[in-house]
Amino acid sequence: MADGSDTTLTLESPALEKTLVSGIKGFAGEHGGAKAVIEFLGRRGARVVLVGNDGGWGDLVAPSTDVARAACEEAGVPVENGWERELVELMRPSNDLWRSMGRRQLAR
């Protein structure tokens, strides 16, 4: 193993957090409010999955779960503990997503 290859580089940038907060606020504004679920991605950080009140959804990547939670709190978007039934039922996948999922299934 190369020297230093077992370390994780953590980037702490106020500009990155501001970008994350503005992305979350923008999504919530476009979809009449939103809820978030934060998923740990390992060394890559954390995935913030946003589910809008209108059923739309999207995601952003943060450098860590702590940064993701702080950004959601600053943006005024509540963080759910996990994928509860009510939250999943609120999501409305687009027709393009359904088609792409169907192609993946057919390709197997």
Q: What is the pLDDT of residues 25-49, one digit of tens each?
A: 999 999 899 999 999 988 889 999 9
Q: Hey, CA dihedral for 7, 69, 94, 106, is it positive or negative?
A: positive
pTM here?
0.71
Q: Where are the domains of the chain?
A: 14-107
Q: How far apart are CA 32 and CA 104, in angstroms?
A: 32
pLDDT of residue 67: 93
Per-residue confidence at 89, pLDDT binned at 50, 70, 90? confident
Which tens digit of pLDDT belongs to each residue from 59-68?
899 999 999 9
